[in-house]
């Protein structure tokens, strides 16, 4: 067969990429065409996403890919992070830059106001979504209470990838997986929860029936050489696309962890797991590309080490690579310091090393630490949280999980992978590195009829990549047990202080 190329636009909270995935009838090969930054802009004390810049960078990246792959390009798909949205008027004009999810407006106080109206437990039972201050439901409630709310002038709400699709092909659609991150989709009906919207005073006119991954939206406009090439709705939430790419072996029980700034650990479930324990532990039910649930916990991932690196770059005036920092951390004694990666103060940018030191002081730990010790504390804290979530998942789903599939950029970090295997005491299968882009391409292939379903897509990924396996060091299991107990004690003391 003639080779086909699918262009995957994959944008995270820090950067974006255009990746070309070429299919020769047997294997799918990924090549990064270009990268571009995605930094929020500060205006009036708030931070917003620079959507016009993103649109420009996406078009430029697609043009660069077209120059290389030309007539082989079969389609285009876009995935991004979740929850953030753009409001547009009846003429399709963007009313404002969208607030970034880490903006100060997204506070626990707003959550409490929504709980007082909709009911905390009732909100969870209806949506099955983990409570986080930046969820769309809380952002929209904040917007509705503004003195001159943009909602009054809005005709449609488009999530960030929905808006980028609209800018590229003119179709205004809400894709299903990105919509499910909003905490506005009913877990039972799998549609917008009209009753919840009414209680909170959010107009239903902003939303339309969601479309599934694999839906062809329309032809590309405004990119020379791509005219007529279809834009396909993919798993527009990057984690949905990443999970679609997991090359899991049929018949074996498995969990996944999609790594990046965030770490999302979970299983694919055919039905919702909404009960007292899932509510107490705040597990979430986001949509998978095939309509099932991604039953997962959203944890802090590489954010901590990214921020530490930013601190040191500002202090030293040089950019130390992750490999060098990892070597420094590996030279340090294990379990010298303990941190809770989900601690509230760690979630805002800036002065991460100072925040670590203050955390150490408030929890009775030493307050002097080297760069390697800080890096190691961050990595060990992250995998301690993995261990806790892995145990909870098995308790919630009622069965043992035989393997963990790790996907995303952090699979390239040997220290991270080995620590994960050791902390969980389970074999970790790593790959693909470009998980979101692979899953993005699979939805395009399904839309064009090149694969019949996502199960066939997983098999294709399995044939296309070389997985790496990390096995736990069984001789260190007692030390990990002791350290895990100590980690939980320190986390409890931080929460009480």
**17-26 own/partner pairs: CB under 8 Å, 24+ apart:** 17/61, 17/437, 18/58, 18/61, 18/62, 18/64, 18/65, 19/434, 19/437, 20/65, 20/68, 20/69, 21/437, 21/438, 21/440, 21/441, 22/69, 22/72, 23/441, 23/445, 23/450, 25/1, 26/463
Taken in order 409, 411, 414, 418, the sign of the CA dihedral is: positive
Q: What separation, in Å, do the N-terminal and C-terminal C-alpha atoms of the chain show?
A: 64
Q: Which one from 238, 290, 311, 422 is the annotated catalytic residue? A: 238
Taken in order 441, 446, 451, 453, is the CA torsion positive or negative? positive
Dihedral angle of Cα 63, 69, 72, 77, to the nearest 10 degrees: -50
> Is 450 part of the annotated catalytic residue set?
no
Kindly tell me the burial class for residue 362, based on how many C-beta atoms sit within 10 Å of its own C-beta (0-12, 13-18, 19 or more).
middle
Give the three-state DSSP class for 160.
helix
Distances (CA, A) of 100 to 39, 85, 195: 10, 9, 27
Catalytic residues: 238
């Amino acid at each position: 067969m003639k080779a086909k190329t699918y262009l995957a636009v994959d944008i995270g909270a820090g950067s974006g990429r255009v990746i070309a995935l070429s299919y020769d009838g047997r294997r799918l090969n990924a090549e990064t065409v270009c990268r571009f930054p995605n930094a929020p802009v500060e205006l009036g004390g708030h931070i917003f996403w620079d959507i016009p810049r993103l649109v420009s960078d996406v078009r430029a990246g697609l043009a660069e890919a077209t120059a290389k792959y030309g007539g082989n390009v079969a389609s285009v798909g876009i995935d991004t992070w979740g929850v953030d949205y753009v409001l547009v008027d009846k003429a399709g004009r963007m009313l404002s830059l969208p607030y970034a999810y880490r903006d100060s407006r997204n506070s626990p106080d707003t959550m409490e106001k929504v709980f007082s109206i909709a009911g905390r437990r009732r909100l969870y039972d209806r949506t099955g979504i983990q409570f986080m201050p930046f969820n769309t439901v809380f952002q929209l409630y904040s917007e509705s209470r503004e003195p001159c709310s943009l909602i009054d002038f809005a005709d449609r709400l488009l999530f960030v990838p929905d808006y980028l699709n609209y800018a590229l092909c003119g179709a205004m659609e809400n894709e299903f997986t990105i919509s499910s991150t909003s905490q506005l989709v009913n877990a039972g009906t799998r549609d917008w929860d009209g009753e919840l919207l009414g209680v909170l005073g959010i107009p239903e006119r902003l939303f339309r029936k969601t479309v599934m991954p694999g839906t062809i939206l329309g032809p590309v406009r405004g990119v020379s050489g791509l005219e007529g090439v279809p834009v396909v709705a993919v798993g527009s939430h990057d984690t949905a696309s990443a999970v679609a790419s997991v090359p899991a072996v049929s018949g074996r029980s498995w969990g996944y962890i999609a790594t990046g700034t965030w770490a999302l650990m979970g299983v694919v479930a055919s039905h919702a797991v909404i009960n007292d324990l899932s509510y107490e532990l705040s597990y979430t039910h986001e949509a998978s590309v095939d309509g099932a649930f991604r039953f997962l916990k959203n944890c802090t991932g590489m954010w901590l080490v990214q921020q530490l690196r930013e601190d040191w770059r500002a202090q030293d005036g040089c950019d130390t690579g992750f490999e060098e920092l990892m070597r420094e951390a590996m030279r340090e004694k294990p379990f010298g310091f303990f941190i809770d990666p989900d601690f509230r103060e760690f979630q805002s940018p800036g002065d991460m090393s100072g925040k670590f030191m203050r955390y150490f002081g408030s929890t009775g730990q030493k307050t002097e630490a080297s760069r390697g010790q800080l890096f190691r504390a961050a990595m060990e804290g992250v995998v301690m949280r993995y261990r806790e979530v892995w145990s909870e998942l098995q308790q919630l789903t009622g069965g043992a999980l035989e393997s963990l599939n790790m996907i995303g950029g952090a699979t390239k970090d040997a220290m991270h992978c080995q620590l994960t295997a050791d902390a969980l005491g389970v074999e970790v299968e790593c790959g693909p590195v470009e998980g979101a882009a692979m899953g993005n391409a699979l939805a395009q292939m399904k839309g064009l009829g090149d694969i019949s379903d996502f199960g066939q897509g997983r098999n294709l990924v399995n044939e296309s990549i070389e997985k790496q396996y990390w096995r736990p060091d069984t001789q260190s299991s007692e030390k990990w047990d002791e350290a895990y107990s100590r980690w939980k004690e320190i986390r409890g003391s931080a929460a009480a202080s």
